[in-house]
A and B are shown apart, each in its own frame.
Chain A
Amino acid sequence: MPQQYAIALKGICKSFGSVAANKNVDLNVRPGEILALLGENGSGKTTLMNMLSGIYKPDSGQIFVEGKEVSIDSPEDAKRLGIGMVHQHFKLVDVFSAADNIWMGKEKTGLTLKKDRYDQIEEMAKKFGFDLDPRKKVYNMSVSEKQTLEIVKVLYYGAKIIILDEPTAVLTVQEIRKLFGVLRRMKEEGHSIIIITHKLNEVMEISDRVAILRKGEYITTVNTSETNEQALTEWMVGHKVDLNIDRPPMAKTRPLLEVRDVTIRSDEGAVAIDSVNFYIRGGEILGVAGIAGCGQKELCEAIAGLRPIEKGQMIHKGDNIVGLSPKAILEKGISMSFIPEDRLGMGLAPSLSITDNMLLKNYADGKGPFVDRKRGRADAEQVIRELEVVTPSTQTPVRRLSGGNVQKVLLGREIKAGPNVIITAYPVRGLDINSSYAIYNILNKQKQAGVGILFVGEDLDVMIALCDKIMVLCHGKVMGVVHAHKTTKEELGLMMTGALDLTYKYEDKPAGFAKDTRFETRDEAEED
């Protein structure tokens, strides 16, 4: 035997219906290494990993663990074989404490909960160098704490091979750094780690080798030190890709949308957005950075008229829009598209066809009691053609489309309506490189047409490249508005965690006040 792999896959095939998710995939992981698994959406990464963790069974092919052929029939089998997976969507019970979340998967614990479970787990967490309070309830935890708990959970059950499915998607720069520290330490202790991610810079930073999948097929495995981001992208996509995001310069126009001293409450009644000021000009992309759940959703909903504003003012082209109905705000040309975590929750009706979804905002136009489906179909055909949406027909229910195409349909409809302000939150959430770039191009075209864009994003690299200015939110407060070409990821990261407040960087005015504001009271005061 040439080399003992921690895990080796040979000729793995798996199909769902007539769709082949994995075709003849070979993959191997050495003991004590970090392998990055790279591929576009739908390239079969998660399917492959789910077969390792016993959720799916391969149609054919062999799995070897430490040189011995095994069959993984259930998550129990995977656990026994020392394979642990941290899923993209955490599998935790919210009302349980950290310790109980770990404890409940344990066999032979007897009928009673023992007090010493807290100490045992705390001790173990300390051994691995984790900072974890075993008594803390999951609903009180931040995203990164939950992730730590998931990792401790797999380690507790003696996992030697740890799979992480897009672990960095929800973390800040600082948290990612901390996670990578943990991964390196686990590697030193002889654990094998497979990490799935879309972000090439992270692949370059953390991994020893990179395995690439494309459309379900295994392409190659390369040593990270012998490759670069450009080469990886080409393997992944199958052709040359320009990795630069354009930021076309535009002439300044007067502010289109101004938000002054606005406070908004969340569903639970807590203050989600706290006295926020900002403005968007035509032909400008204003980025909004912040840790997930910092009031981004509430802000978008409030602008679209879906959520009441507690106090403050919003003016659009000089007209007040606070208190207007969602319909009236739409008619002013403010379009909002929010891609929630499940991607379908807001803005689209998943079981309805593309045609019907195109009609969502204008079905009531025109006389008579009937819906004008002819126009909807024409719109659908146009969006499909112009944005290259992959779909069998205009009658296909939206939920049957892949993520990128769903998002194109949503953005396509918003743009078709000819808005002058676009509020877009997470438009590339979960999208692969190709689809993401298609979306950036769409946004840039709109910007060049003079539309003002509020871009709520996750990926700081992208925001720095695409946006003109970036506003940073931390717990609903603005930490400052910075020029994208002058800032750094580190600076943004510090602002996101609240460690750096640049609101009063320029002494003449706090961030978010336009010099040429359309608020009449300010007009005279600030005019030079």
Chain B
Amino acid sequence: MGLRIVKRDDCPLWKKCCFYLAAVVIALGLGAALLASLGVDPAAYYSRMFTMGTIGNKIAYKVYINYLKEWVPLALTSVALSLAFKMRFWNIGGEGQFIMGAIAAAWVAFQAGPVLPVAVSLILMCLAAMVVAGLYGLIAGVLKVKFGTNETLMTLMLNYAALYVLTFLGETKADWNFFLDEKSVRPVFASFSKIVSFPSIPMGEKFTLNICVILTLVIGAAVYVYLKYTKQGYEIAVVGDSAGTARYAGMKVPKIVLRTVFLSASLVGLAAAFKVGTAGILSTSITDDVGWTGIIVAWLSQLNTAAIFLVSALICVLQYGSTVAAATFSQVDSSFANMLQGAILFLVLAADFYTRFRVVLVKKGGKDNGNG
């Protein structure tokens, strides 16, 4: 008897979902084994993690508000990256574009915030972040179009360049550096949350829904329609599938590449503006790794916008929940979420294999294989 891999013709959606679900369950099982070995009751830990500590919590609404604050940048960054990925432009520079967008938004907040009405300042922050991040993303796009450089390398290296710019701003005490707190002797970023901040809409008794959540949902829907039904979306699909064919059809491939890269990066910038505009302060860890996690989300969702919302929501539960749980279970570090996330990613990829192939048992044919 032996094992053989056979290609599947078609895998119905319910079956796919079962495979993915099984992958998540196995990953949680692995996590449970690890937790048990640390002397923690997995059931207690998981229930705390998945409810994010909202059960029996008098201020549960705050948990939801904070949870959404984490979700917005991740979901929007994933949507933005999926635009470039659809064109098979491997923009792994989400981190750098996010940082540049955040710096631009903070700049506007410090400069325009005190003199202009809040609404105008907020719009300017968004626009500045989008333009700066978009141009930053465009660097890799232009180099690729003009010289055929590898966008993966370029965007990756630009991540570090952006991070050093931010670190420089955070550590350089000088008269020109309005990003820092003037009152502090040591260099620390100044807060502008009192000057400008994205408004929230009160819902129910205490819960308030931040406007960024609504905007993110609207943009997600718009990107979905853009990719699926518009001429530009069609061009992105053709260029991604075969640049030769696009050229042959009379499309201006460089223009399409640059336009899409700019759009992708500027939406990452917008995510940064949302983040900065709700946090009210810069920090060297402003990105929360959304530039990286967003890649994972986009791929797990297979570039489907609706799936991106779902997957990013789940990953945020993992991340946020594990910080909450870490407060209760002191022996488990909050980076347990990263481990769990990694395990889920690997197993979902394995599940993906099973949606395309089957493994079957076969009887060996023939008696000997001619080797005597």
Contacts and interface: CB of A to CB of B under 8 A. Distances in A.
A23 to B, nearest CB: 16
B183 interface: no
Interface string B329-372: 00000000000000000000000000000000010111111110
Nearest to B239: A349
A402 interface: no
- The listed residue with most B CB atoms (<10 A of its CB), out of A350, A351, A356, A360, is A360
Nearest to A62: B366
A370 B229 contact: yes
A325 B250 contact: yes
Interface stretch (A63-71, A265-273, A458-466, A496-504): A63-71
B237 A356 contact: yes
Contact of B365 (A16, A61, A80): A61
Contacts of A348: 242, 245
B232 A369 contact: yes
Contact of B237 (A306, A330, A349): A349
B250 A80 contact: no
B238 A70 contact: no
B370 A71 contact: yes
A361 B245 contact: no
A421 B365 CA distance: 56
Nearest to A344: B242
Given A17-B9, A347-B245, A327 B231 contact: no
A183 B369 CA distance: 29
A68 B369 CA distance: 10
A81 B234 contact: no
B241 A347 contact: no
A80 B9 CA distance: 35
B4 interface: yes
Contacts of B246: 349
Contacts of B244: 345-346
A17 B8 contact: yes
A360 B237 CA distance: 11
Contacts of A145: none
Interface string A249-277: 00000000000000000000000000000
Interface string A31-72: 000000000000000000000000001111111010011111
Nearest to B6: A17
Contacts of B186: none
A75 interface: no
B370 A80 contact: yes
B249 interface: yes
Given A306-B248, A359-B234, A349 B241 contact: yes
Contacts of A104: none
A326 interface: yes
Contacts, number: 103
A352 B369 contact: no
B353 to A, nearest CB: 15
Interface in B205-236: 229-235
A77 interface: yes
Contacts of B234: 356, 359, 363, 371
Contacts of B245: 345-349, 360
A70 B368 contact: yes
Contacts of B62: none
B247 interface: yes
Given A370-B231, A371-B229, A72 B369 contact: yes
Nearest to B228: A371
Contacts of B7: 16-17
Contacts of B368: 69-71
A211 interface: no
B170 to A, nearest CB: 42
Interface string B40-55: 0000000000000000
A18 interface: yes
A364 interface: yes
A345 B232 contact: no
Given A326-B250, A364-B231, A371-B234, A345 B242 contact: yes
Contact of A62 (B8, B241, B365, B370): B365
B317 to A, nearest CB: 33
Given A325-B250, A326-B250, A369-B231, A70 B370 contact: yes
A65 B370 contact: yes
Interface in B235-280: 235, 237-238, 241-242, 244-250
Interface string B1-26: 00010111100000000000000000
A352 B237 contact: yes
Contacts of B241: 349-352
Contacts of A364: 231
Most buried by A among B235, B245, B249: B249
A208 interface: no
Nearest to A336: B248
Which of A19, A61, A71 has the most chain B CB atoms inside 10 A of its CB?
Answer: A71
A326 B367 contact: no
Interface in A349-381: 349-352, 356, 359-361, 363-364, 369-371, 373
Contacts of A359: 234
A325 B6 CA distance: 47
Contacts of A60: 365
Contacts of A370: 229-231
A304 interface: yes
A302 B294 CA distance: 42
B365 A77 contact: no
A446 B245 CA distance: 24
A371 B369 CA distance: 58
A73 interface: yes
A77 B237 contact: no
Interface string A303-331: 01010000000000000000001110010
B248 A73 contact: no
**Most central of B235, B250, B368, B369 by chain A CB within 10 Å:** B250
Contacts of B232: 369
Contacts of B362: 57, 59
A350 B242 contact: yes
A344 B367 CA distance: 42
Given A16-B6, A17-B6, A371-B230, A304 B248 contact: yes
A351 B241 CA distance: 6
Contacts of A80: 370-371
Contacts of B238: 349, 352, 356, 360
A336 B248 CA distance: 9
A349 to B, nearest CB: 4
Given A352-B241, A360-B245, A363-B234, A71 B369 contact: yes
Contacts of B235: 363
Contact of A57 (B231, B237, B365, B367): B365
A71 B365 contact: yes
Contacts of A81: 370
Contacts of A59: 362
A373 B4 CA distance: 41
22 contacts: A16-B6, A17-B8, A17-B9, A57-B4, A68-B370, A71-B364, A306-B247, A326-B250, A330-B250, A345-B242, A346-B242, A346-B245, A349-B237, A349-B238, A349-B246, A351-B241, A352-B241, A356-B238, A360-B245, A361-B250, A364-B231, A373-B229
Given A17-B7, A352-B238, 17 more contacts: A17-B6, A17-B8, A61-B365, A62-B366, A65-B370, A70-B368, A71-B370, A77-B370, A306-B248, A346-B245, A347-B248, A361-B249, A361-B250, A363-B235, A370-B229, A370-B231, A371-B231
Q: Which 10 A-B pairs have the closest CB atoms?
A: A71-B366, A327-B250, A349-B241, A70-B370, A17-B9, A71-B369, A326-B250, A360-B249, A369-B230, A371-B234
